[in-house]
Structure 1
Amino acid sequence: MNMFCYQCQETGNGKGCTAGGACGKTDETANLQDLLIYTLRGIAFIADRIFNANRHSDTELKRKTGVMIAESLFATITNTNFDPDRIAGFIESALSQREALKAVYLKYYKDLSGLPESAKWSASGVAEIVSKSYSLSVLEFSDPDLRSVKETITYGLKGLSAYAYHAAIMGFYDDSIFDFIFAALAKTDNSAPMEGLLEFVLETGHCNLKAMAVLDKANNETYGSPEPTSIESKVGSRPGILVSGHDLHDLDLILRQSEGSGVDIFTNGEMILAQSMPYFKKFRHFSSHYGNAWWQQNNEFASFNGPIVVTSNCIIPVEDAYKDRIYTSSVAGYPGVPHIGAKNGEKDFSAVIEQAKKLKAPAPLNDAPFMSGFGHNTLMSVKDKVIALVKAGKIKRFVAMGGCDGRDPRRSYYTEKALSLPQDTVILTAGCAKFRYIRLVKGDIDGIPRVLDAGQCSDNYSFLVFALELAKSLGINDINELPVEFDIAWYDQKAVAVLLTLVYLGVKKIKLGPTLPEFLTQYLVGKLKDRVEVTTVC
């Protein structure tokens, strides 16, 4: 066994990947990611003692540490960063930040003897880092139930860290999120016992709710609240740049730097959110949405003809058809693919723009249009109408079918489910799972579309806000009394964070598919059974 990873839905044979990942990552990258998380646990232990136990008041240091941990955890989410050199670089940066924290730690403690090994280890170069990485494994938690609880918390932290990081780079913070990351990640250290861990499972869901809220605030205040928009898939005669991932800030930079260049800017995957935001619509060269869920990108990137910039997850193993015109930015990375990083706080996309000018216009995909942009502000504006339709029996139920798509053929369940729903049912969706059915489900209920898409995975927050407000307006104290069914598709760790948020909010019945996570043991499911019943579609 060269590695072990079971964090995603497509994990090898449903048990765990041991010789290269189903996602395409090498054992070297997988092991370096394990070492990065190990190192972050040690840093979190120190930060927890500094900021939580002793209330150290240096907000700048807290945020610097919190953002560093969040960015690093984000880089280990499935299909985000395949580049072992970049992961080793994250480890080197983490070790450097750890030493700065130790100096503060010694203001409160007489020596470093109380630190776990994860906070003490060191390396003099990349070779030693790589060697160390092969000595670690998720399987070091020999008790499968202890491993289940710790990894569930860790994967939830990865998901919420992605949201917190996106917000932070736009200047929006909730410092309580960092306090929790420090405390929870420290609790998942190899040396930590089971005692007290279960409460952190629920609190991870609570913290993710905060992370989704601060990202929602960042997006809405920076780029305007999403508005109902017809999502087109049109191409013209001009060359284009395709922007994929979730980082709206990078899209903003690309649009501003490409103004007047004769190059059009297209969105792909979950960058679809930008199509419904007022700020982006003002750019005359901001074109349409090109493509579907992440796993179809090899065909779509090939036919696009122009450069592609992947700003976060999801990137998959790069094929020859477009390998000379793909770039990564932010946390994304892939071996041999040029990375556009920040220098003195600025990013320069001029090389991408210049390459685009020399390439052909995108080939048409001929995808049918559909509606998106139903964030919570839009939903709240029609709340009274929705309540009236519910009371009149015209809307009998809502089905929340947000989440991630993937390659598992059993995901056809979501298409079949959407098409089988009666005309009095409204689908609530966000994330890339929607591409399975959003062009197929037609019609509306007295002007309310039968599919309401909020945008990215983090925009499941909009439906939670709306559901809670709907319950309040209907005089319902228990979210489970609402006519809402939760049928969630999962693939990566962002979906794990959303799942934990639903559990935290008290949702009693959740259908999760196409399969249950391998890292959930019967012990953990049993401990949660008084709060939630999680079933699967397969």
Structure 2
Amino acid sequence: MEKNMFCFQCEQTAGGTGCTGCAGVCGKSAGAAGLQDELTGALIGLAQACQTGMPTAQTYTLILEGLFTTITNVNFDTVTIQAMTDKVHAEKARLSAGTTPDYDVQKIWNANEDIRSLKSLILFGLRGMAAYAYHALMLNKTDDEVSKFFVKGLAALGSEHTMDELLPIVMETGKANLACMAMLDAANTTAYGVPTPTAVPLTIEKGPFIVITGHDLKDLELLLKQTEGKGINIYTHGEMLPAHGYPLLKKYPHLKGNFGTAWQNQQKEFASIPAPVLFTTNCLMPPRSSYADRVFTTEVVSYPEISHIGDDKDFTPVIEKALALGGYTEDQHLTGINGGTTVMTGFSHGAVLSVADTVINAVKKGAISRFFLVGGCDGARPGRNYYTEFVQKAPSDSVILTLACGKYRFNDLDLGTIGGLPRIMDMGQCNDAYSAIKVAIALSEAFKCGVNDLPLTLVLSWYEQKAVCILLTLLYLGIQNIYLGPTLPAFVSPNVLNYLVEQFHIHPISTPEEDLKKILG
């Protein structure tokens, strides 16, 4: 009989307090949740062993894989979670001859609520950062300081600390994630070029096709190469949409467009498509029987009885499934949530800063009154229409920067242009918060003021752990007056929340009208 679980790492956690009982809101079983806790305890033990042993590149890779495995909506499979834990145990034994025990993660969940809150911020931040570091690693980019911080952060979780001792480590998590996002940005642009603004159609052409979702651009590149000349079109989904902006990916003529909207709609959107879906990273929901035979996973993503593509990255089973299903017999003219037939992407910091003079002049002349960064994770909780309404009600002389899958709430809206620039600029995936940071810093330098003095407001939606590490990065940079929703994290205690409000003036979202009134004064 499975033990009851406890998990409160995602925004939709049960009752706004924590998933308990036999299954989580995400569909994860208590057995899988318990094994992920054991894996986390093994990783903390491995980190402690690293402090006295001699970690190698393989050690750091295992830490990334293990942390990535525990992110919400990544791995639901007890077999593969146990296999990952066994690998961690083997590496820990190599480093410490078996003398370093696993850490009991229940000590974190059962700690004083403020200690639990701060350790949760560190742990969940590390999990999100591990995803970014892993994607960079797939493109042969690493950073010694980032790798060392994974060890430092994990080891701190297994040690006794006061609030005053943990708070600097929370901020250091944000600092490390800034370096990690910079590393991933360099990895992506070195491999695929600097993204450029690109209109992406939402039409699905007739004939065989494959939908690829997640965040891993390397997996997309491999799929594009393996499908060349086979008469199969490739469509992005979810966080893979920004791939269309990269020059070396755009060169593949069978990378056609984007299918569907954000991750939480997949069970409906995938139900009847005559094509396979490849999951490269998180955002997997339990596949329904109507399409489970068309779902494929790879990397650390895993679900019981779902076909998995291993380390050889041979996508032949996906390709064969696409050819067998045949796709649509006629073009399907799909639309976004608001009825749009195309979406724009590719407004990276490279693209935006290339027209910096135009932007700066528009601000100086009064054509642009304010910038809003409205981005983050999407989710199914009621109230997320706030972000659509906020964008629609934002002043007509404001620019909306966006990133991550939260943009699907409004990215097909036509809000027109200002000074030849579109009012909605999609900067990319969630890790491309780095692009927003680069643009903000460049604007502050141009106007000779601090970032907090710019006519810029961040309005963020969060769901899982990558949003946590981005928030910590923004706090590390001292960015204030962030509006956060749709709810505040269950793992943030009242005392920690008060600290964040006092130090950084974080605001829980209310209504678009009230928040715009406060922002615009």
Instruction: Give TM-score, length-normalised by structure 2.
Output: 0.93
Q: Which residue in 1 is equivalent to 2:102?
A: 118
Q: Within the alignment, does 1:244 sit opposite 2:213 as a pair?
A: yes
Q: Is the 8 A contact 1:4 1:138 kept in 2?
A: no
Which amino acid counterpart does residue 305 of structure 2 have in structure 1? G
Give the one of 9, 14, 37 matched to 1:7. Answer: 9
Q: State how far apart, in whole Å, the 2-side matches of 1:139 and 1:226 are.
A: 41
Q: State how far apart, in whole Å, the 1-side matches of 2:109 and 2:408 are.
A: 39
Give the one of 477, 485, 496 matched to 2:468. Answer: 496
Q: Within the alignment, does 1:286 sit opposite 2:280 as a pair?
A: no
Quote the offset at 1:529 in angstroms: 4.2
Aligned pairs (5 A) from 1:367-382: 367=335, 368-382=341-355
Q: Within the alignment, does 1:40 sit opposite 2:43 as a pair?
A: yes
Structure 1 unaligned spans of 5+: 51-55, 104-110, 120-134
Quote the offset at 1:141 in angstroms: 3.1
Q: Is the 8 A contact 2:204 2:334 kept in 1?
A: no
Q: Which residue in 2 is equivalent to 1:30?
A: 33
Number of equivalenced pairs: 500
Q: Within the alignment, does 1:206 sit opposite 2:175 as a pair?
A: yes
Give the one of 434, 443, 457 matched to 1:485. Answer: 457
Q: Which residue in 2 is equivalent to 1:124?
A: none
Instruction: Give TM-score, length-normalised by structure 1.
Output: 0.90
Q: State how far apart, in whole Å, the 1-side matches of 2:184 and 2:507 are.
A: 29
Q: State how far apart, in whole Å, the 1-side matches of 2:210 and 2:421 are.
A: 34
Q: Is the 8 A contact 2:9 2:465 kept in 1?
A: yes
Q: Which residue in 2 is equivalent to 1:356?
A: 322
Give the one of 360, 365, 372 matched to 1:392. Answer: 365
Q: State how far apart, in whole Å, the 1-side matches of 2:507 and 2:332 are.
A: 40
Which amino acid counterpart does residue 326 of structure 2 have in structure 1? K
Structure 2 unaligned spans of 5+: 336-340, 511-521
Name segments (4+ residues, structure 1) moved above 6 Å.
Answer: none
Aligned pairs (5 A) from 1:225-244: 225-244=194-213
Give the one of 223, 248, 252 matched to 1:254. Answer: 223
Q: Write the deviation string for residues 78-125 of structure 1: whole angstroms up to 9, x where unpaired.
A: 11111111111110111111112225xxxxxxx94xx4x326xxxxxx
Quote the offset at 1:284 in angstroms: 2.2
Q: Which residue in 1 is equivalent to 2:18?
A: 16
Q: Which residue in 1 is equivalent to 2:385?
A: 412
Q: Is the 8 A contact 2:483 2:508 kept in 1?
A: yes
Quote the offset at 1:398 in angstroms: 0.6
Q: Which residue in 1 is equivalent to 2:447?
A: 474
Q: State how far apart, in whole Å, the 1-side matches of 2:483 and 2:289 are.
A: 39
Q: Is the 8 A contact 1:63 1:175 kept in 2?
A: no
Quote the offset at 1:436 in angstroms: 0.4
SS of the counterpart of 1:9?
coil
Q: Write the deviation string for residues 432-489 of structure 1: whole angstroms up to 9, x where unpaired.
A: 000001112420101111111011111111010010011011111x210011001100
- Shift of the 374–138 alpha-carbon distance from structure 1 to 2, 3 Å rule, reads farther
Q: Which residue in 2 is equivalent to 1:130?
A: none
Q: State how far apart, in whole Å, the 2-side matches of 1:527 and 1:180 are.
A: 24
SS of the counterpart of 1:86?
helix
Aligned pairs (5 A) from 1:95-134: 95-102=89-96, 112=99, 115=100, 117-118=101-102
Q: Is the 8 A contact 1:159 1:494 kept in 2?
A: yes
Q: Within the alignment, does 1:67 sit opposite 2:39 as a pair?
A: no
Q: Within the alignment, does 1:511 sit opposite 2:477 as a pair?
A: no
Q: Which residue in 2 is equivalent to 1:127?
A: none
Q: Within the alignment, does 1:265 sit opposite 2:267 as a pair?
A: no
Q: State how far apart, in whole Å, the 2-side matches of 1:48 and 1:397 are.
A: 48
Q: State how far apart, in whole Å, the 1-side matches of 2:203 and 2:345 are.
A: 16
Q: Which residue in 2 is equivalent to 1:123?
A: none
SS of the counterpart of 2:272?
helix
Q: State how far apart, in whole Å, the 2-side matches of 1:382 and 1:327 are.
A: 41
Q: State how far apart, in whole Å, the 2-side matches of 1:139 and 1:208 are.
A: 22
Quote the offset at 1:142 in angstroms: 2.7
Q: Write the deviation string for residues 309-366 of structure 1: whole angstroms up to 9, x where unpaired.
A: 1000110010112111111001111111011110xxx311111111111113147251
Which amino acid counterpart does residue 173 of structure 2 have in structure 1? T
Which amino acid counterpart does residue 492 of structure 2 have in structure 1? L
Quote the offset at 1:48 in angstroms: 3.1
- Shift of the 518–441 alpha-carbon distance from structure 1 to 2, 3 Å rule, reads farther
Q: State how far apart, in whole Å, the 2-side matches of 1:472 and 1:45 are.
A: 42
Quote the offset at 1:503 in angstroms: 0.4
Which amino acid counterpart does residue 219 of structure 2 have in structure 1? D
Q: Is the 8 A contact 1:243 1:265 kept in 2?
A: yes
Q: Is the 8 A contact 2:117 2:492 kept in 1?
A: yes
SS of the counterpart of 2:226?
helix
SS of the counterpart of 2:66?
helix
SS of the counterpart of 1:287?
strand
Which amino acid counterpart does residue 492 of structure 1 have in structure 2? E
Q: State how far apart, in whole Å, the 2-side matches of 1:235 and 1:485 are.
A: 36
Q: State how far apart, in whole Å, the 1-side matches of 2:388 and 2:206 are.
A: 34
Q: Which residue in 2 is equivalent to 1:172?
A: 141
Q: Write the deviation string for residues 57-81 of structure 1: whole angstroms up to 9, x where unpaired.
A: xxxx432211211111111111111
Q: Within the alignment, does 1:188 sit opposite 2:191 as a pair?
A: no
Q: State how far apart, in whole Å, the 2-side matches of 1:92 and 1:324 are.
A: 29
Quote the offset at 1:531 in angstroms: 2.9
Which amino acid counterpart does residue 299 of structure 1 have in structure 2? K
Q: Is the 8 A contact 2:238 2:263 kept in 1?
A: yes
Q: Which residue in 1 is equivalent to 2:84?
A: 90
Q: Is the 8 A contact 2:11 2:464 kept in 1?
A: yes
Q: State how far apart, in whole Å, the 2-side matches of 1:488 and 1:403 are.
A: 5
Which amino acid counterpart does residue 351 of structure 1 have in structure 2? P
SS of the counterpart of 1:460?
helix
Q: Is the 8 A contact 1:479 1:507 kept in 2?
A: yes
- Shift of the 330–425 alpha-carbon distance from structure 1 to 2, 3 Å rule, reads same
Q: Is the 8 A contact 1:62 1:178 kept in 2?
A: no
Which amino acid counterpart does residue 355 of structure 1 have in structure 2? K
Q: Is the 8 A contact 1:8 1:493 kept in 2?
A: yes
Quote the offset at 1:389 in angstroms: 0.7
Q: Is the 8 A contact 1:328 1:340 kept in 2?
A: yes
